[in-house]
């Protein structure tokens, strides 16, 4: 599903953020990528969604080598990879329903398709009764649920969650992780980028640990060791 072969990335001669990274993630896995700030985990995620390009090596998604992806192909890649961020990135003047629908509108989806998909993903995340509310009218956990719903509208094969619980309290954080686990059970590959030790240790799933741009540990049922 996801293959990184000898991937390196640097922003300057003195700032190399990834060094000869090799990683393989099977379809349907739930993988936590952990490490201290500056370890390279966020840059790795940006490579997967085409926001950055590797200086050396290959980045392969399925059968698609995206190492030198054309800018015009990035939107097609993003439909295969749903992305969730720490700060939600919801549009404040649109309702929860409109925020989720917008991800389909920008791709030219028909109104009938939007009316079919949006209620479905809102049910999956438990927000069917909040669809008419605006982001400022719902909790942080509900904002993140809306962001997850938006990421699901294209039925992505991969879901990249970059610090999705960073702005949430412990209860809401656990609920978001439980939702990601449910999505994973549908067959979606989930990549969780986090520094939350408690969550990683509770999951008891595969843990890839990064330090100074390199993978220093890869355990099938790991813990946050740093």
pLDDT tens profile 98-118 = 999 999 999 899 999 999 999
Angular region, 134: left φ>0, alpha ψ -120 to 50, beta rest: beta
What is the spatial distance between Cα 152 and Cα 59, in angstroms, rounded to a whole number? 23
Q: How confident is the model at residue 223 (pLDDT cuts 50, 70, 90)?
A: confident
- Give the max Cα distance, the chain: 52
With a pLDDT cut of 90, the percent of the chain lying above it is 78
What is the spatial distance between Cα 114 and Cα 100, in angstroms, rounded to a whole number? 9
Reply yes or no on whether the pLDDT at 122 is more than 80: yes
The more confidently predicted of residues 88 and 25 is 25
Show me where the domains of the chain are located: 2-219
| CB 59, CB 12: distance < 8 Å | no
Q: What is the pLDDT of residue 145?
A: 94
Query: pLDDT by residue (tens digit) across 27-48?
Result: 999 999 999 888 999 999 999 9
User: What is the β-pairing status of strands 81-84 and 158-162?
Assistant: parallel
| CB 28, CB 159: distance < 8 Å | no
pTM for the full predicted model? 0.92
Going by C-alpha positions, the residue among 29, 22, 21, 20 that lies closest to residue 1 is 29
Q: How confident is the model at residue 175 (pLDDT cuts 50, 70, 90)?
A: very high
Q: Please give the radius of gyration of the chain, using alpha carbons only, rounded to the nearest integer.
A: 17
What is the spatial distance between Cα 161 and Cα 84, in angstroms, rounded to a whole number? 5
Reply yes or no on whether the pLDDT at 173 is more than 90: yes
Q: Domain 2-219 adopts which CATH fold?
A: Rossmann fold (3.40.50)
Average pLDDT over residues 53-66: 93
What is the spatial distance between Cα 129 and Cα 156, in angstroms, rounded to a whole number? 24
83: its two tokens: 């992305």
**DSSP state, 53?**
-
Going by C-alpha positions, the residue among 191, 144, 192, 194 that lies closest to residue 172 is 144
């Amino acid at each position: 599903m996801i293959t990184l072969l000898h991937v390196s990335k640097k922003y300057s001669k003195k700032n190399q953020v990834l060094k000869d990274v090799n990683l393989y993630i099977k379809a349907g896995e739930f993988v936590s990528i952990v490490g201290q700030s500056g370890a390279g985990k966020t840059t790795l995620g940006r490579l997967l969604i085409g926001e950055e390009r590797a200086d050396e090596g290959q980045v392969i998604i399925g059968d698609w080598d995206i190492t030198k992806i054309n800018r015009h192909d990035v939107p097609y890649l993003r439909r295969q990879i749903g992305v969730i961020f720490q700060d939600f990135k919801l549009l404040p003047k649109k309702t929860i329903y409109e925020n989720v629908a917008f991800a389909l509108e920008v791709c030219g989806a028909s109104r009938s398709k939007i009316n079919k998909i949006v209620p479905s993903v809102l049910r999956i995340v438990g927000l069917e009764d909040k669809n008419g509310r605006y982001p400022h009218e719902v909790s942080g956990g509900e904002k993140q649920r809306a962001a997850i719903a938006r990421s699901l509208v294209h039925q992505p094969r991969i879901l990249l969650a970059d610090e999705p619980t960073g702005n949430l309290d412990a209860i809401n954080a656990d609920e978001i992780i439980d939702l990601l686990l449910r999505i994973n059970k549908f067959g979606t590959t989930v990549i969780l980028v986090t520094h939350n030790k408690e969550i990683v240790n509770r999951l008891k799933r595969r843990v890839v640990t990064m330090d100074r741009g390199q993978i220093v540990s890869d355990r099938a049922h790991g813990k946050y060791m740093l």
